[in-house]
Amino acid sequence: MSPFNLETCARPNILALEPYRCARDDYKDDGTNILLDANENAYGPPVPQNLATGSGSSGPELDLLGLHRYPDPHQRDLKQLLCSLRTTHAHTSKLLTPENLCVGVGSDEAIDALLRCFCVPGRDRILVCPPTYGMYSVSAQVNDVGLVKVPLLPAPSFAIDVPRVLETLSTEPNIKIIYLCSPGNPTGSLLAKEDIQKVLEHPTWNGVVVVDEAYIDFAPESASLAEWVNEWPNLVVMQTLSKAFGLAGIRLGAAFTSPPIARLLNSLKAPYNISSPTSALASYALGPDGLKVMRANKERLIQQRERLVAELPQIPGVGKLAGGESSNFLLYEMLDKEGKPSNETALKVYQKLAETKGVVVRFRGKEHGCEGCLRITVGTEEEVTRCLGALREALKEVGGE
């Protein structure tokens, strides 16, 4: 009999992990559901239709016969396209260059890489500001890194509690990284630049400030702080092509930062972490034709976001917009019979939408400060129409139970 014992061989912090779950784990998608749960771009990627159908020759150059070769490990051309996009001179006169960048498999690779780069397992900690993206804490647990929480200010601002954050960085030992999500997930609120600056200006704390800008293209023009990394040695700005660019399937993320930190991140990454097809598709999306389509699709989503903000409050049982309007999703309260935000009501509505209406959203009521809230991704005009009708029916049915 083998002496192998998984329970004593594996790391305790890994044994304690719960696998990542999404709303689609609860409901089988038969291809007819309206998926408004994962903040994807329902209008799809900015690639030509003839490429998607396998006909025609325009679009990204996919060298399928070259797939026996490893991809470019440095991706300088791709990095330069990202730099050109984010050099706006709204926050600095300096130029972003490929030396400011590390690209990886979505933003999640950068989240994990920063932990491995700066945090000693079993000793160091990170600071997060709930409600926020869950992968910061998951990655911390994987890396045996402690977690310190300073909640955002209450809705609707969901702003950084600057005095408490500064005090925590001054008094709590071994905090190496603070992760800030802007626009926030699930809040949809843009964090104030001046608040982030106050954290960066902490007089004694020796650590890294990470701003996760996954949804930045849905925020006002020039909101991205990517180029601001040239002014701060310890600022990292993460972005992804999964949201506004509609390329969640290629898993391409970027970390903008100072050249010294970028060198560290590039040194510890896997040598060929960006595949050749991913690089080709991302490069096309970041070129003139791809950007034109992305921006047009973004405007269509913003129009539907404005429509949801106007029409959701007209549905009986829908409460206040709990967060902001700087993303491709909205966080709304579901009300009980007394007119109060209710997790029980929100969960029933969430389940009824998915089980009987074919509309999948995300229940966020267990997140800090999100009592009774559903997060609804902005979809196409047709999807939004179906969502509004289904939500009206579901709330009426739940209210009659």
Give mean pLDDT, residues 61-80: 90
- Which pLDDT belongs to residue 53? 53
Q: Flag whether pLDDT at 282 surpasses 80.
A: yes
The span from the CA of 72 to the CA of 327, in Å, is 33
> How do beta strands 175-181 and 125-128 pair?
parallel
Q: What is the pLDDT of residues 132-154, one digit of tens each?
A: 999 999 999 999 999 999 999 99
Give mean pLDDT, residues 159-166: 98
Is there a contact between 344 and 236 (Cβ–Cβ < 8 Å)? no
| Cα→Cα distances 196→52, 163, 208, 232, Å | 41, 12, 12, 11
Helical spans, DSSP H, in 201-287: 259-268, 276-285
| Cα→Cα distances 72→75, 144, 261, Å | 6, 32, 21
3-state secondary structure of 332: strand
Q: Flag whether pLDDT at 22 surpasses 80.
A: no
DSSP string, 138-174: HHHHHTT-EEEE-PPPPTTT----HHHHHHHHHHSTT
- Which pLDDT belongs to residue 17? 87
Is residue 106 left, alpha or beta, with left meaning phi > 0 and alpha meaning psi from -120 to 50? left
**Taking Cα atoms as reference points, which of 249, 242, 250, 239 lies closest to residue 276?**
250
Rounded (10°) angle between helices 259-268 and 106-118? 100
The span from the CA of 22 to the CA of 364, in Å, is 11
- DSSP run (H or E) holding 295: helix 288-311
Domains of the chain: 9-38+290-398 (3.90.1150.10), 74-285 (3.40.640.10)
Is there a contact between 118 and 93 (Cβ–Cβ < 8 Å)? no
Give mean pLDDT, residues 39-63: 75
Is there a contact between 308 and 330 (Cβ–Cβ < 8 Å)? yes
**Taking Cα atoms as reference points, which of 387, 388, 392, 334 lies closest to residue 364?**
334
Q: What does DSSP assign to residue 335? A: B
Q: Over the chain, what is the mean pLDDT?
A: 94
- Which pLDDT belongs to residue 58? 64
Give mean pLDDT, residues 264-280: 95
- Which pLDDT belongs to residue 333? 98
Q: What is the pLDDT of residues 101-119, one digit of tens each?
A: 999 999 999 999 999 999 9
- Which pLDDT belongs to residue 204? 97
Q: What is the pLDDT of residues 329-379, one digit of tens each?
A: 999 999 999 999 999 999 999 999 999 999 999 999 999 999 999 999 999
Is there a contact between 277 and 62 (Cβ–Cβ < 8 Å)? yes
Q: Flag whether pLDDT at 401 surpasses 70.
A: no
Q: Flag whether pLDDT at 57 surpasses 90.
A: no
- Which pLDDT belongs to residue 48? 80
Give mean pLDDT, residues 178-194: 98
Residue 160 φ then ψ, to 5°: -65, 135
| 64 against 305, higher pLDDT | 305
The span from the CA of 98 to the CA of 259, in Å, is 9
Q: Flag whether pLDDT at 13 surpasses 80.
A: yes
**Taking Cα atoms as reference points, which of 36, 37, 65, 62 lies closest to residue 50?**
62
